[in-house]
């Protein structure tokens, strides 16, 4: 078989990333995370775009260097077309187009959500690959979806958030509690030390397999305001219990919908993606569901769950083998659907 080298480029949000892949195996995987947004408690699109412009050349250069190849060895350039922030996507898109044009090799446009799912097929992503058909639960700061995956390129969104993403539920709750951004990892850490049943937050009522998280954030805000009026030190005195209770509620919401998705589709293989899948409580709940609900879960290596370019390269590689090259004049697409 021929050796196919693909360069993947990801710039949809606040991480500038590049990866070189040989036949599905990662040779390099570089991510430059933008620290600037921590100051603002969230991603500032204009600053993200500017940072991508500064990072993209050195990041791509480093990825090619670490792979131990020359750029003329590349067979194709894969890039994130969407969904994401327009200003951020434009940097990766323009760069990928000019590089592919300059090298006279095919351009491969990649859907970021599809990439989170197909990251499971990177050679060293995990010991076992999910078999088709499977359900993909993609949970991050920007997305919350349940997708029915019948094949590499046959996917159907069967549930998604109607407002905030799960990661936003963690981050916005954390902001109310005075935690830094992103708050997810700290809530996770504190939740381990707290009582998940100390406080009760109402779960949203959403039809079918869809999710809603904005009500939870408002509920937490009112709860904290009420309690702080009686006791100004309420947050400080109960922080671990509050974090544990918030996380417990979020896990409950996710598991309810997963159980329902498994029941409705009859599919019992569940593949997880997105930065929130790092959450230890969610991982434990998924694992215990294997005996309780009879499903099997697949979680790839951490570096392939958060935003990265190896997941873009694997989709590029699969598309390259299918000759699914980008059309002339391809543009970034902030609201690209699966
Ligand atoms: O996939 P990701 O790195 O970037 C995108 O949003 O696309 O995900 C980042 C999100 C943030 O909202 C962050 O708070 C959350 O993942 N996160 C966590 C944990 N680690 C990261 N949330 C809960 N528990 C964690 N351990
Ligand atoms: Zn993502």
Report the binding-site residues: 112, 116, 138-142, 171, 184, 188, 279, 307
Mean pLDDT throughout 49-59?
96
pLDDT band, residue 251 (cuts 50/70/90): very high
Domains observed in the chain: 5-120+305-321 (3.30.420.40), 130-299 (3.30.420.40)
Q: Which ligand is nearest to the CA of 167?
A: 1
pLDDT at 42 over 90: no
Question: Binning pLDDT at 50, 70 and 90, where does residue 262 land?
Answer: very high
Among the bound ligands, the one closest to the CA of 15: 1
58-76 average pLDDT score: 98
For the segment 137-164, what is each residue's pLDDT rounded down to a tens digit? 999 999 999 999 999 999 999 999 999 9
User: For residue 254, which of 137, 173, 114, 338 has the smallest C-alpha distance?
Assistant: 137
pLDDT at residue 43, rounded to an integer: 87
CA of 138 to the centre of ligand 2 (A): 8
Separation CA 54–CA 270 (nearest Å): 38
Best probe residue, ligand 1, of 37, 139, 176, 276 (max atoms within 8 Å of C-beta):
276
Query: Mean per-residue pLDDT for 307-317?
Result: 98
Give the total residue count for the chain.
Answer: 338
Query: Ligand 1 pocket: which of 42, 140, 247 to mutate (most atoms <8 Å of CB)?
Result: 140
Query: Which of 277, 285, 306, 301 has its CA nearest to residue 126?
Result: 301
pLDDT of residue 224 exceeding 90: yes
pLDDT band at residue 91, thresholds of 50, 70 and 90?
very high
User: If you take atom 24 of ligand 1, which residue's CA is the nearest one?
Assistant: 279
Q: In this model, does residue 236 exceed pLDDT 90?
A: yes
Mutate to test the pocket of ligand 1, among 43, 170, 286 (most ligand atoms within 8 A of CB): 170
Question: What is the predicted pLDDT for the residue at 39?
Answer: 83
User: How much distance in Å is there from the Cα of 273 to the middle of ligand 1?
Assistant: 11
In this predicted structure, what is the pLDDT of residue 196?
Answer: 98
Give the list of residues 6+ apart from residue 170 with CB closer than 8 angstroms, or none.
182, 183, 184, 187, 246, 247, 250, 276, 279
Write out residues with Cβ below 6 Å of ligand 1.
13, 140-142, 167, 170-171, 182-185, 188, 274-276, 278-279, 306-307
CA distance 130 to 228: 47
Annotated binding residues for Fe cation, as ranges?
112, 116, 307
Quote the CA–CA distance of 86 and 20 in Å, as a whole number.
24
Q: Work out the mean pLDDT of the chain and round it to a whole number.
A: 96
List CB contacts of 141: < 8 A, sequence separation 6 or more.
Answer: 13, 165, 167, 168, 171, 182, 184, 275, 276
Please state the pTM of the whole predicted model: 0.95
DSSP 182-245: S-HHHHHHHHTTS-TTSS--PPP--STT-B--HHHHHHHHHHHHHHHHH-TTHHHHHHHHHHHH
């Amino acid at each position: 078989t021929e050796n196919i080298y693909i360069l993947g480029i990801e710039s949809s949000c606040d991480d500038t990333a590049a990866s070189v892949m040989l036949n599905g195996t990662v040779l390099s995987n570089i991510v430059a995370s933008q620290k600037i947004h921590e100051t603002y408690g969230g991603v500032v699109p204009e600053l993200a775009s500017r940072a991508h412009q500064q990072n993209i050349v050195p990041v791509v250069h480093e990825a090619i260097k670490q792979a131990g190849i020359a750029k003329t060895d590349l067979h194709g350039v894969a890039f994130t077309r969407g969904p994401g922030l327009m200003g951020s996507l434009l940097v990766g898109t323009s760069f990928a187009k000019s590089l592919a044009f300059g090298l006279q090799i095919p351009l491969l446009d990649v859907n970021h959500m599809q990439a989170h799912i197909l990251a499971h097929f990177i050679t060293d992503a995990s010991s076992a690959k999910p078999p088709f058909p499977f359900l993909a639960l993609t949970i991050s700061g920007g997305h919350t979806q349940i997708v029915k995956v019948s094949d590499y390129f046959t996917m159907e969104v069967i549930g998604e958030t109607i407002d905030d993403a799960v990661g936003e539920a963690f981050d916005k709750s954390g902001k109310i509690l005075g935690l830094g951004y992103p708050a997810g990892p700290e809530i996770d850490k504190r939740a381990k030390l707290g009582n998940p049943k100390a406080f009760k937050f109402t779960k949203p009522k959403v039809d079918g397999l869809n999710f809603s998280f904005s009500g939870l954030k408002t509920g937490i805000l009112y709860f904290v305001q009420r309690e702080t009026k009686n006791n100004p030190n309420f947050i400080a005195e109960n922080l671990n219990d509050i974090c544990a209770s918030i996380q417990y509620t979020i896990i409950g919401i996710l598991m309810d919908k997963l159980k329902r998705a498994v029941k409705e589709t009859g599919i019992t293989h569940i593949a997880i993606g997105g930065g929130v899948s790092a959450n230890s409580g969610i991982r434990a709940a998924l694992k215990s569901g294997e005996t309780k609900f009879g499903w099997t879960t697949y979680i790839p290596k951490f570096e392939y769950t958060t935003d990265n370019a190896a997941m873009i390269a694997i989709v590029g590689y699969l598309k390259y083998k299918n000759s699914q090259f980008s059309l002339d004049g391809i543009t970034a697409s902030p609201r690209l659907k699966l």
